[in-house]
Chain A
Amino acid sequence: MVLAIGVGVAASMTTYSVFRAVSGDPIPWKSSKLFVPQIDMWGPSGRGPNGEPPDSLDYADAMALMRDHRAKRQSAIYAVAPSVIPTTKGSQPVNVSGYGVYSGFFPMVDAPFLFGSGWNADADAARSAVVVISSTLNDQLFGGHDSVGKTIDIEGKDYRVVGVLNHWNPQPIFFDVSDTGGFGGDGPDLFLPFERGVAVGMPNSGSQNCDAMPTSSGFVGLQQSSCVWISYLVELDDATSVSRYRSYLDGYADAQQAAGRFTWAKNNRLRDVPAFMDFEHVVPDDTRVSLLVALGLLVVCLVNTVGLLLAKFLRRSGEIGVRRALGAPRQAIYAQFLIEAGTVGAAGGVLGLLLTGVGVASVSLVLPPYIAALAKVDFSLLALTLVLAIVATLLAGLYPTFRASRVQPAWQLKSN
């Protein structure tokens, strides 16, 4: 019985730890204020199921939204993968990953800085050769010292470091769901001004989706095309600004229709970050299904426990009869057996703790490493395991206890 509860609880908790890891809110204090606009630039033929417009933006629309600047903060985002050449002699160049973003990006996502800060709007406009690097890259290139003001060589050009991020690697990667699917990597190594990246022809290293082949080749062709490859994030602080931004998007689509670019009615979306991650299926279906199966296992273990407790308690009908005949009220019988059930639950919980530890450790053997790395045992998981075991067993013990308390003392005494 203790084993059944322990196993049931451990299986549920192990899958729950994975589920919690992948469904976590990467920026809980702000996710309801960050929104992802979607514009239907492809029309009916390019829509997804349920008439959904593409999940990212093409260059023309992203630039138009940036120009109009209607939100408190906003940033177009595209993935780059340049190589950085260390200044120290003889070391090999490193391939890094990063993003082209606007200055509004850093305050918008509350990126933590170890040294310096992001760049300002002037640097966006001037396409300045500035860069924000991760602490990992800073360790690699500058031995962890304050590198603000120093230069690094990216694709053969010098960039001035303006800020160093302090171990920033939110998971799910909410600002680039469409390229990453939400998970993976050790975090971006660098950020540079969006228009700088475009100006020097640093190609998009993320995914791109096209409804029609670009008419001309290369990165420039991609910019002129209707292919979508740009993520976009806006910050809207209250309901009024959300509805104002919504109507701005509608107005934009109407204007495009009036200009003859769109031959269909507006079909925009403006989801906040949690809704967008849900829409993008960031939590793998696999994980949801396995959580369900584990919960099913727990239910079966509980049904099993009800049966076993029933047998265990009723086997002691004689003992109950004696206690009742000696004047113990029903309450005392309730107390006795609920405490017993609780003790069984606690024992099952302790066993469950051990098994959960084993389970979480072995998850890394079977699941993709980027998900397994997120699943970990912490205090809240341990506490939850124990509480779940005890509460579940108490619930399971209710009916057997009720039956035990109904034992007729006279009947038992007579037949003994």
Chain B
Amino acid sequence: MRFHPIIAALKQHKAGVVLIALQIALTLAIVSNAVHIIVQRLDRVSRPTGVDEANLFRVSTLFVGAPLGDDKASLDKLDALQLSDVDALRHVPDVVSVSASNAMPLQGGIWVGGVSVKPNQKTPTSTFGYYYGDEQMIKTLGVRLIAGRNFNAGEVIHHTINDTSMSPVSIVSKHLADKLYPHGDVLGKTVYIDNKPTTVIGIVDALQISNASFHVTWDYDTVMQPVRLSGAVANYALRAKPGRLREALRESRAALFAADPMRVMPASWGLLSMAEIRDKAYRGDRGMAILMMGVCVVLLGVTAAGIVGLTSFWVGQRRRQIGVRRALGARRIDILRYFQIENLLIASAGVVIGVLLAQGLSLWLMSHYEMPRIPVTYLLVGAVALLMIGQMAVFVPARRASLVPPVEATRAA
């Protein structure tokens, strides 16, 4: 099969050729970038949190008439309220473990600090997210302690979030430990948070910071400190017996209201299972991925339909020529191949332009939005996929062309 007659024939249909090529180019540019965005979203959503998600839930409650002052008496009163809540929750039959803890992965609310290896360091070694909680926090979250020791009850202090004192001991996540002391000898070292010293007594395995929308280099850099945060709002992390999450949620609510009815604990933020927290946190990402996927499917469909439409038209126009070729001895397969190669040529041109367009679009997106550059594999896979879609779309009209009988040559066009 020589290309020359095909190209000569295409010159008679410049507009159609340009349109199909253009459509393929645009489709490739849009779909490859959209798929890139989808994959990024899905990567983000599937990041592990490091906690026992299946059984974890959070209880938040606001104490009505809680003291507002910062004096010691008020703070002790707030802490007593929390301790009595923790005690009430501990007696809930379907709850395995309770911790007064302000942080849970994906919850949104986050306190952030900077940690340094040396005192008076100008720029901190890393930014991190705090996990404040009592000595039950690690056990309740289901995070694995991989080195050192947990906090003991005597180390747990309580203060407000605006307090400036620093716990003398901290537990850091593995990711942060490796940043601070790359040789793995962080245990027992003193690090500086806001220029205040604290000693690293333990390392936990991967633990995500408590806000999922922070897509940053430090999203697994966490510091745990043995602090019960005092305030009008108290947060507790709870772990239910496996398979008893629903019951545990209900019982916890009842237990707290039975212990002290002067509280606000609405369904919207008072009692949330980890699954609900995850759903809330990633709803936007998932929605974006679904939207993009829908657009991609529609785009590919439209492009395929366009190819079918225009090629059918060409087949209709050339019935007589096809008949002549058949009469001169061309086999059916030759006719089929002719249209397939014709489409391959047009689609190849479109794909080449499309790869360039996709690169341009990606560069533009990079300069306007925080997005990495599109990897070459996406372009290659997209190009091959479009060539294949072109071949599949052209098959129907090409087959119809191959069925044109040689006798067409004798009929008027």
What CA separation (Å) do A203 and B65 show in the bound complex?
A: 14
Find chain A residues with CB under 8 A from B313 CB.
311, 314-315
Is A92 interfacial (CB-CB < 8 Å)?
yes
The answer to whether A296 and B26 touch across the interface, beta carbons within 8 angstroms, is yes
Q: Which residue of B lies closest to A286 (CB)?
A: B288
Tell me the A260-286 residues at the B interface (CB within 8 Å).
284-286
Contact B264 A11 (CB under 8 A): no
Question: B22 to A366, Cβ gap below 8 A?
Answer: no
A222 to chain B, nearest CB (A): 5
- For this complex, into which size category does the number of interface residues on chain B fall? 35 or more
Q: Mark interface residues in B22-36 (1 if CB within 8 Å of A CB, else 0).
A: 110011011001100
Whether A256 sits at the interface, judged by CB under 8 Å, is: no
> Is B299 part of the contact surface with A, judged by Cβ < 8 Å?
yes
Q: 1/0 contact trace for A70-98 toward B, CB 8 Å? A: 00000000000001010000001111000
- Considering the chains assembled together, what is the distance between the CA atoms of A201 and B291 in angstroms? 46
User: Which residues of chain B are near A200, meaning CB under 8 Å?
Assistant: 68
A215 touches B16 (CB 8 A): no
Per the bound structure, the CA–CA distance linking A311 and B317 in Å amounts to 10
In the complex, the answer to whether B15 meets A213 with C-beta atoms within 8 Å is no
B303 cross-chain contacts in A, Cβ below 8 A: 300, 304
Q: How far is the CB of A2 from chain B (nearest CB, A)?
A: 12
Return chain B residues, CB-CB under 8 Å to A303. 19, 22-23, 26, 306
Residues in B neighbouring A311, C-beta threshold 8 A: 16, 309-310, 312-313
Given that A294-B295, A368-B284 are known contacts, is A308 also in contact with B290, CB under 8 Å in the complex?
A: no
Q: How far is the CA of A279 from the CA of B306 in the complex (A)?
A: 42
By the criterion CB–CB under 8 Å, are B299 and A297 in contact? yes
Contacts of A120 in B (CB 8 A): none
Q: How far is the CB of A379 from chain B (nearest CB, A)?
A: 25
Q: How far is the CB of B113 from chain A (nearest CB, A)?
A: 9
The reply to whether B164 and A304 contact each other, CB–CB distance below 8 Å, is: no
**Is A217 a contact of B69 with CB atoms below 8 Å?**
no
Complex alpha-carbon distance, A289 and B160, angstroms? 41
Chain B CB within 8 A of A288 CB: yes
Within 8 A of A (CB), among B195-244: 196, 231-232
Chain A at the B interface: SS class? helix
Note all chain B residues with C-beta closer than 8 A to A11.
294-295, 298
- Taken together as a complex, chains A and B put the C-alpha atoms of A286 and B215 apart, in Å, by 14
Report which of A15, A297, A368 forms a contact with B298, defined as CB distance below 8 A: A297
Chain B residues whose CB sits within 8 angstroms of the CB of A284 once the complex forms: 284
In-complex Cβ contact of A93 among B37, B68, B262, B306 (8 A): B262
Q: Are B68 and A289 interface neighbours, CB within 8 A?
A: no
**Chain A residue at minimum C-beta to C-beta distance from B165:** A217
Bound complex: CA of A290 vs CA of B294, how far in Å? 11
Residues of chain A in range 37-91 having any CB-CB distance to chain B below 8 Å: 83, 85
Contact A366–B159 (Cβ < 8 Å):
no
Residue B251 interfacial (CB < 8 Å): no
Closest-by-CB residue of A relative to B22 is: A303
B11 located at the interface, meaning its Cβ lies under 8 Å from any Cβ of chain A in the complex: no
A296-B30, A299-B26 known; A214+B305 contact, CB < 8 A: no
Q: B292 at the A/B interface (Cβ < 8 Å)?
A: yes
In the complex, chain B residues 53-109 whose Cβ is within 8 Å of any chain A Cβ = 62, 64-65, 68-70
A112, chain B: closest CB distance, angstroms: 27
Residues of B within 8 Å of A93, CB to CB, are 64-65, 262-264
Cβ of B266 under 8 Å from chain A? yes
A399 to B16, CA, bound (A): 11
Binary contact readout A357-396 vs B (1 if CB under 8 angstroms, 0 otherwise): 0000001011110010000000000000000000000000
Q: A202 to chain B: closest CB distance in Å?
A: 7
The proximity string for B residues 350-387 relative to A, scoring 1 for CB distances below 8 Å and 0 otherwise, is 00000000000000010001100000000000000000
What interface size band does chain A fall in?
35 or more
CA distance A158 to B264 in the complex (A): 20
How far, in whole Å, are A15 and B298 apart by their CA atoms in the complex? Answer: 15
Separation of A94 and B369 alpha carbons in the complex (Å):
41
A403 to B16, CA, bound (A): 12
Q: Is A306 in the interface zone, CB < 8 Å from B?
A: yes
* Interface assignment of A156: CB less than 8 Å from any CB of chain B: yes
The CA-CA distance from A222 to B264 in the complex, in Å, is 26
| Contact of B287 with A8 in the complex, beta carbons under 8 Å | no
A7 CB-CB contact with B under 8 Å: yes
- Select from chain B the residue with minimum beta-carbon distance to A400: B15
Closest Cβ of chain B: how far from A277's Cβ, in Å? 17
Select which of A83, A310, A371 is within 8 A of B64 by beta carbon: A83
A36 to chain B, nearest CB (A): 23
A203 and B68 form a contact (CB under 8 A):
yes
Whether the Cβ atoms of B68 and A201 lie closer than 8 Å is yes
A8: chain B residues at CB < 8 Å are 302
Please, what's the 1-or-0 string for B1-44, where 1 marks a CB less than 8 Å from any CB in chain A? Answer: 00000000000000110011011001101100110010000000
Q: Is B162 an interface residue (CB 8 A)?
A: yes
How far does the Cβ of B385 sit from chain A's closest Cβ, in whole Å? 15
Cα distance A57–B302 in the bound complex, in angstroms: 52
Asked if A221 is an interface residue, CB under 8 A from chain B, the answer is: yes
Give the chain B neighbours of A218 by CB distance below 8 A.
Answer: 70, 160, 162-163
In the complex, A240 has a CB within 8 A of chain B: no
| Beta-carbon contact of A288 and B369 below 8 Å | yes
Q: Which residues of B contact A308 (CB under 8 A)?
A: 306, 309-310
Q: Which residues from B are CB-within-8-Å of A215?
A: 164
On whether the beta carbons of A366 and B23 are closer than 8 Å, the reply is no
A155-B309 contact given A297-B298, A300-B30, CB 8 Å threshold: no
* Residues of A bordering B, CB below 8 Å: 1, 4, 7-8, 11, 15, 83, 85, 92-95, 155-156, 200-203, 212-222, 284-286, 288-290, 293-294, 296-297, 299-301, 303-304, 306-308, 310-311, 314-315, 363, 365-368, 371, 399, 403, 415-416
Which residues of B approach A to under 8 Å, CB–CB?
Answer: 15-16, 19-20, 22-23, 26-27, 29-30, 33-34, 37, 62, 64-65, 68-70, 159-160, 162-165, 194, 196, 231-232, 261-264, 266, 283-284, 286-288, 290-292, 294-295, 298-299, 302-303, 305-306, 309-310, 312-313, 316, 365, 369-370, 412-413
11 residue pairs from A and B, CB less than 8 Å apart: A11-B295, A92-B264, A201-B68, A217-B163, A222-B162, A290-B292, A296-B29, A297-B302, A308-B310, A311-B312, A403-B15
User: Beyond A219-B68, A289-B37: 8 further Cβ-contacts under 8 Å?
Assistant: A83-B264, A85-B64, A202-B68, A214-B162, A286-B284, A304-B306, A308-B310, A403-B15
